[in-house]
Amino acid sequence: MTDAGSSDWASAGGDVDSWAPIPRQFRRLNGPLPPSWEALYGPLRVGRVDDLMVVAQLGQSIDGRIATASGHSKYINNAAGLDHLHRLRALVDAVVIGVGTALNDDPQLTVRRVAGPNPARVVIDPRGRLSGSARLLRPDGARRVLIVGNGAVPALGDGIEIIRLVLTAGVAAPAGAVPCLTHHRTSFRACRRLVPKKNNKTGHLQIVGPEIPEVLRGS
């Protein structure tokens, strides 16, 4: 999903002030959302294949790029696009990024621009490179999770969950094998563990930026 969703919402006559109750209503599944929000976010409430809904979030330019040729991508989104990103973040159970994004951008991955709860913050970090000083690891009541290789020894503070997977040399685990990490991808099953099934409701996972194709290839 790209930030085009923001313009869709605006053209539908959405009212920013009407957003505040939406994250709670989104999770209740007891009727449609208000019309100004239903068309854009209603289809995300229930998975069509199983009990997991995955949202791939990209902010991209009109020519389909998420960064310049040199890799620079900061401020590629406008204010409306950032609001849309934070609304999606308020609706999901966990947001997943790669360690490259974490190191280069030092994001917070919190819900700040709109009303709503902070999701769990997850970093795929095969070698355990992320420092405990990263902003996304600051304690604020949300889960903080690192997916690392089984030999990694990340230097982190208290309260950070570690999921350890077998680190391979670029070969994904065969079907039925232990979920694994390669240098550039993670088993989707590892991400699935972050969103346990609760009361027959759909779990929601947001994968952001360059990590999208790598997670999906590792599925």
**CA torsion angle for 139, 128, 217, 83 (degrees, to 10)?**
30
Rounded to 5 degrees, what angle do the CA atoms 34, 37, 42 make?
95
Count of domains for the chain: 1
- Taking residue 137's Cβ as centre, other Cβ atoms within 10 Å add up to 23
Chain centroid, CA 62 distance in Å: 23
Radius of gyration of the chain (CA): 17
Going by the DSSP 8-state scheme, the letter that residue 186 receives in this structure is B
pLDDT tens figures, 53-72: 888 877 777 787 777 777 67
Looking at residue 103, which CATH number applies to its domain?
3.40.430.10
Q: pTM to 2 decimals?
A: 0.76
Domain that holds residue 40: 4-217
Report the mean per-residue pLDDT for the chain: 76
pLDDT beyond 50 at 1:
no
Quick one: pLDDT band at residue 177, thresholds 50, 70, 90? Answer: very low
Give the pLDDT score at 109.
94
Give the pLDDT score at 148.
85
pLDDT beyond 60 at 218:
no
Q: How far apart are CA 94 and CA 11, in angstroms?
A: 29
pLDDT tens figures, 96-131: 888 888 998 899 999 999 999 999 999 888 888 999
